Structure 1
Amino acid sequence: MNEHHLRYYATKQNMISIAIIWGLIILFILQPGIAHDGAEAGAQLFVHALLPYLLPYIILTQWLLKVPAENPSKKSWKRYMKAYVLGSFGGFPVGAVTVTEMVKNGELSRRESGFLLAACHAPGPMFILGFVGTELFGDTTSGWKLLIAIHIANILFLFFTLIAMNKGRRELDSPQLPLLKKRAGSPFLESIKESSTVIILVATTVIFFSALGNVLTTAISKAFTVDLGITKTILLAIFEMTSGVQSATDHFFTSPVFPFLIAAIISMNGLSIHMQVFVIAKTADTPFLPYFISRIWSVITVPIILYFLL
């Protein structure tokens, strides 16, 4: 493809992006009340459902990763287990934070980080047991079963990940980024500083995509004859997971498919979480193909595993 065609496609992409942005701006202007309600709902969900469960773990995880290791392990499986335990049990987007920090520390190669980003990606236990289990399901046992289903799917994906990584270990196992010097100062203070950046990113994406989902739901419901509950749940699930889960609870709580719908929405994550992961992992130039494959895998397998557990 020559330079002329590349320039043409770049210009076309820019024009499409500008058209989408202006279309959304006009929608927000025409429906300020709906946009406000969506943003307010997103802010409330962030403060109520995400911040209390996410912030303490992010700080502790960052603190642990920033403490200089006396004898860092050279065994691959120990590094992978470290990434999985710290990342997948911390909640979104702690997996991305953990893997990225380990790449910067020289503990993982770029190739390894792509696979581990995919496998070490799960909602935190406090979120599933506290918010989903207790408040949405009304039953902590169901929350435990959902958490188990998520980790069974992740561990299976991690198993396939280890096989894939072992095939090309000789050529691609060395770290792709230079080992960074440890910063002078307190690891605890550094962890608080970087955790605040992650929390702001999470809050921004949750509030924005909640508002966007609310505005688009109203616009589509007015333009077409569709069920508001179904439309709202689908759109919010696509844009913002927590809002999608809340909408599914409001409209499908009595349905037999309710727990499996919640499992699918949480496994899909939504654009809000994908954006968080992308922004964080991009700093380490992490490949994203395994991550997208893992989302498809989880959406299919987690509800099936949950069905057998229930």
Structure 2
Amino acid sequence: MISIGIIWALILLFILQPGIAHDGAEAGARLFTHALLPYLLPYIILTQWLLKMPVKRKATNNWQRYMKAYILGSFGGFPVGAVTVAEMMKNGELSRRESGYLLAACHAPGPMFIVGFVGTELLGNPVAGWKLLTAIHIANLLFFLLAMTLLKKDQPENLSMQSIQLPKTSTSPFLASIKESSNVIILVATTVIFFSSLGTVLTTAIATAIPVDLGITKTALLAIFEMTSGVQSATDHFYSYASFPFLIAAIISFNGLSIHMQVFVIAKAVNIPLIPYIVSRLWCVFAVPLLLYFLM
């Protein structure tokens, strides 16, 4: 748990460097509006709309439910997977244990973000974006198959007991999806802007106090705090290196604290266990760059 002293230290750091904090927040806001919002919002609305549509009979076959979660959750960008799994758990389609494993497996950046922004704009080639997306999904599917094997060994839980009882309202599924999507978008914007600003301030403070390479320090810190800012910094400082695509793959696989906070907030709201998610992130940081190396 972060101590009160660290929080006060960060507050003082922001007060002492208001211009740097502003620049970091502004950069995070630009990245959110340019690289995330156009790709994320339409898919979140459609996914939420689909999940909130009343169905006469829910799927009872495990693989049907798991594939529904994977397809809807893994192709919409962060944190659509968490939103999808949480919604299916609310609807009684997934148990708590199933939700924990699926939260870990159904977690991937959207195709439009990887191919459109990372592939075309950062790597300079949409084909490279498709190869990166393929590597991400191979790693996720391997973890998904492992999760399904573990779940198969367990006795099925009573889904009706695991579902969260929500008050019934007369709101239409589309209006409900708009409301839920706006909450997710606000969460994403808040974390992206905050962690971009924090990473920028810490980078400047460290570079001022210690003689370090600014490019390496900035990229490392931003990659830890905010993925999109991290890949942008990596592009600015390491584009000419042969290892550049694999560095981008590692940063995207790690995700950064910004995305982790989004997932944690969504998962904790419905009490989904987080240990499988943490394990899957460690797996992907090593597996995705290696898979991309063989694909390229």
**TM-score with structure 2 setting the length:** 0.97
For 2:81, the equivalent position in structure 1 comes to: 95
Q: Take 1:230 and 1:165, find their aligned partners in 2: how far apart are those partners?
A: 41
- Find out whether 1:167 has 2:157 as its counterpart: no
8 Å CA contact 1:112, 1:173 repeated in 2: no
- Choose the corresponding residue for 1:28, options 2, 14, 21: 14
For 2:271, the equivalent position in structure 1 comes to: 285
- Choose the corresponding residue for 1:242, options 207, 225, 228: 228
Mapping of residues 1-310 of structure 1, within 5 Å = 17-170=3-156, 172=157, 174=159, 175-180=161-166, 182-310=168-296
Q: Take 2:115 and 2:155, find their aligned partners in 1: how far apart are those partners?
A: 38
* Residue identity opposite 1:207 in structure 2: I
In structure 1, stretches of 5+ residues that fail to align are: 1-12
Identity value in percent: 73
Aligned-pair CA distance for 1:181? 5.9
Aligned-pair CA distance for 1:241? 0.2
Aligned-pair CA distance for 1:177? 2.8
8 Å CA contact 1:112, 1:165 repeated in 2: yes
8 Å CA contact 1:263, 1:303 repeated in 2: yes
Per-residue Cα deviation, 1:43-73 (whole angstroms, up to 9, x for no partner): 0000000000000000000000000112211
Per-residue Cα deviation, 1:178-217 (whole angstroms, up to 9, x for no partner): 4546532210011001100100000000000000000000
8 Å CA contact 1:111, 1:173 repeated in 2: no
Q: Which moved more, 1:173-182 or 1:271-280?
A: 173-182
8 Å CA contact 1:100, 1:280 repeated in 2: yes
With over 3 angstroms needed to count, the CA separation of the structure-2 counterparts of 1:290 and 1:173, relative to structure 1, is: farther
With over 3 angstroms needed to count, the CA separation of the structure-2 counterparts of 1:182 and 1:156, relative to structure 1, is: farther
8 Å CA contact 2:101, 2:147 repeated in 1: yes
* Residue identity opposite 1:87 in structure 2: G
8 Å CA contact 1:63, 1:188 repeated in 2: yes
Per-residue Cα deviation, 1:51-99 (whole angstroms, up to 9, x for no partner): 0000000000000000011221100100000000000101000000000
Q: Take 2:253 and 2:70, find their aligned partners in 1: how far apart are those partners?
A: 17
Q: Take 2:6 and 2:240, find their aligned partners in 1: how far apart are those partners?
A: 37
* Residue identity opposite 2:210 in structure 1: F
Q: Take 1:213 and 1:178, find their aligned partners in 2: how far apart are those partners?
A: 37
- Secondary structure at the aligned position of 1:169 is classed as coil
For 1:4, the equivalent position in structure 2 comes to: none
Q: What is the RMSD of the two structures over their aligned residues, measured on CA atoms?
A: 1.1
**TM-score with structure 1 setting the length:** 0.93
Total equivalences in the alignment? 295
Aligned-pair CA distance for 1:225? 1.3
8 Å CA contact 2:52, 2:177 repeated in 1: yes
Q: Take 2:287 and 2:97, find their aligned partners in 1: how far apart are those partners?
A: 25
In structure 2, stretches of 5+ residues that fail to align are: none
Q: Take 2:267 and 2:256, find their aligned partners in 1: how far apart are those partners?
A: 17
8 Å CA contact 2:164, 2:270 repeated in 1: no
Aligned-pair CA distance for 1:247? 0.2
Q: Take 2:33 and 2:262, find their aligned partners in 1: how far apart are those partners?
A: 17
Q: Take 2:108 and 2:158, find their aligned partners in 1: how far apart are those partners?
A: 25
